[in-house]
Structures are given as C-alpha cells and as structure tokens.
Amino acid sequence: MIRAYKPADKASLLQMLKQHIPEYFAPAELDDFAEYLEQHREDYFVVEEEGQILGAGGINYFPKENTARISWDLIHPNAQGKGIGKALTLHRIDHIKGQGKFHTIEVRTSQLAFGFYEKCGFELEKVEKDFWAKGYDLYQMKMSNF
C-alpha cells in the first residue's frame, strides 16, 4: 500500500536511512533528511505492508520551471529487489503527470543509484563529483515529454 506520509513515520524513516549509511548515503545526510521531512517536504509517500514501512519517497515542485523533482527515496534493505522502488517511482510519476502542469521530472541521485532511475526512463543530464559528500557524486537526471 502506498499512502501519504504522516509525522509519526519520521522515526522509522530516519532508522531506515541509518541502515543505508555509508553504502548509499553520507552520514551528514541524516540531518538533511530530518530537516527535509520537517521543513521541505511537499508530497511524500510511504510504502507500508502489514504495518511495516518498506519504503518512502517524495516530490518537490518548481512551478516556475514546470518541473517536479523526485526526492529522498528509501527502500528498506530487506525489501530491495522486490519491485517496491519501481512501484513507488511510477506512483510518483503518475501523481505528477496527473497534475497536468509539469513538463519535466528530475531526480538528483548518486552514482550508486542512477542505474535504477535510468531503467525507469530518466536520462542523465549532468554529473558533479563529491556533490553530496566526498565520494558521493551528483547524478542529475530528467524525464521530459511525457
């Protein structure tokens, strides 16, 4: 089940992010994620099964640029490779398309996850070395003309 984020989900999501440090996220990103949930979250969705959170991911909007950005994707380590990330990504793409006012969807990820987004139809736009932290490069990707 994919549902809207509730503030009660925050502790579980922070714990899930900790399980991805340092493999996918730099340690400093834990505070960034907490700040995102508290101050910068626009649409954020949680994947839940039998009361357990298996994943989450958000969308931020940039109306002046007609762009939406997929943000802060997390999938529980035990749930990876089961199609949850793809379902969550497609859910957000459909949510954005359904609004009818965005021409581009972008995602800013790292070299560690860009292949996943490429399989979902995103194209690499630029790479910036050590953007997130040392050893965590920015891979900016986009999807247009949908």
pLDDT at 146: 64
**What is the residue type of 91?**
H
Q: Is-cis flag, bond preceding 63, omega within 30?
A: no
Residue 27, token pair as written in the block: 């340690």
Sheet of 67-75: strand order equals: 2-4, 43-49, 52-62, 67-75, 104-109, 136-144, 123-133
Q: Which CATH architecture has domain 2-105?
A: 3-Layer(aba) Sandwich (3.40)
pLDDT at 62: 96
* Domain residue ranges of the chain, discontinuous segments joined by +: 2-105
Give the chain's residues under pLDDT 50: none
